[in-house]
Structure 1
């Protein structure tokens, strides 16, 4: 049975604005805030380092920087990192690592919530089941798939796109079937067979919608205030992250049901909560 793209988009959009979807959006917003703080801290420290080097080389022969050049850099970077924290860069990098782990855990939970037929799956025990191992597999699997896709992109781009679609359901297989990342990659490969063009179209559609929401709106408000631009970007980032996961998971649910039917009606009642 072929993938119903419209159904996946509609169900994904609907589930985004259910109670579970909004709770997850808040979680992703919080993760986005911490990530923004850490990223801006690293950027601010990098700018300070560059300025210090420029000042130390001021008047030093061929490497000389004039006061005007230094002032130009100071002016152009002023106000670009309003959320920078007064902490060492190593602390900011640790925060980024922490948010990456929490983000993967949140994505695993989101996949489980959106796979379940209930719009209140977060209140059950399935969403957080075996979350530590699932998160670890998600991180390692994501790195492995990322490397494979990157290598594929080097070779004329098309192989990279193919691998990205073939392993699209890696996280869903880990979340729903409690698979390790190796089995999840194999199962995703099998599950996407026969529907890869449809899945590619779905991913492109989601990417266009997310890009429009994540760039056009912040650009408009960014003309008013860089600070407002960051705030709006973070808020939209939480919603679009949930939307993307919801759409892909509902597409997975369609193909998962087909696979279960082929396997003599494999029992998936535990998710019909």
Structure 2
């Protein structure tokens, strides 16, 4: 299998410029702002004020709840975001003329799939982190290999291990092109990570976090569209190979000897 990246990019951008793309953008924005506010509230509640000042932590987005309440909201957002991505993945891979409509089976086995998504996400994050410790490249290689974990679990209803294996198989043969997507997100993360402190030093921590959330959502929305298009391309190509290898040859036009 070989990914045609230019086609995946154009197809992914078309998928992004849809109602589903708009929902994805808003969902990403809500999750990021809510998560940041919950983390800020929990940190300010449990850490002594002197310690936060000494560490250079500035008060940004916050919630009018206790530290325990903030942690509960954070946990709820993590679970809801996993369920959200399950539904978005199932919607984003539809044909272009149906992509703005949420499919009737978008919530099938939602609890089980959300749990698998959470566990799979944790396993991928840990493996990528550990791999990054070994001269960075192993981590990027693993991130590339597990790039389709959202789709293999959400769309194909696979379990965690099977979903990881399936993502690995889909990436095989196209890792160099997929690696470019991973590097792009890594560079973007580095740029955002460098800009955010500069805005904080300007004395506008709330505006800083809001700007970062908007820019990140604007970047990730087409990125997920491109991932969906890449997944579809590789999946359909593999299915075509599988059909040709499993279906018996048509001998109706072969003359008898």
* TM-score interval, smaller chain: 0.7 to 0.9
Q: In structure 1, what is the Cα distance between the partners aligned to 2:222 and 2:49?
A: 39
1:228 to 1:150, Cα distance in 2 relative to 1, 3 A: closer
Q: In structure 1, what is the Cα distance between the partners aligned to 2:181 and 2:210?
A: 28
Does residue 128 of structure 2 align to residue 149 of structure 1? yes
* Alpha-carbon displacement from aligned partner over 1:220-262 (angstroms, at most 9, x marks no partner): 7984833322222222333333222222121111101111101
Kept in 2, the 8 Å contact 1:15–1:114? The answer is: yes
Paired position in structure 1 for 2:235? 256
1:123 is paired with a residue whose SS is coil
Kept in 2, the 8 Å contact 1:218–1:232? The answer is: no
Q: In structure 1, what is the Cα distance between the partners aligned to 2:219 and 2:81?
A: 14
Does residue 188 of structure 2 align to residue 188 of structure 1? no
What do you get for the CA RMSD once the two structures are aligned? 3.0
Q: How many residues align?
A: 243
Q: In structure 1, what is the Cα distance between the partners aligned to 2:242 and 2:99?
A: 28
Does residue 87 of structure 2 align to residue 109 of structure 1? yes
Q: In structure 1, what is the Cα distance between the partners aligned to 2:66 and 2:200?
A: 31
Note the 1:118-157 alignment, pairs <5 A.
118=96, 120-157=99-136
Q: Quick check: 174-183 or 150-159, which moved more? A: 150-159
Query: Tell me, which stretches of 5 or more residues in structure 2 are unaligned?
Result: 246-257
2:83 is paired with a residue whose SS is helix
Q: What TM-score do the two structures reach when normalised by structure 2?
A: 0.81
Q: What TM-score do the two structures reach when normalised by structure 1?
A: 0.77
- The CA deviation at 1:187 is 1.1
Kept in 2, the 8 Å contact 1:24–1:242? The answer is: yes
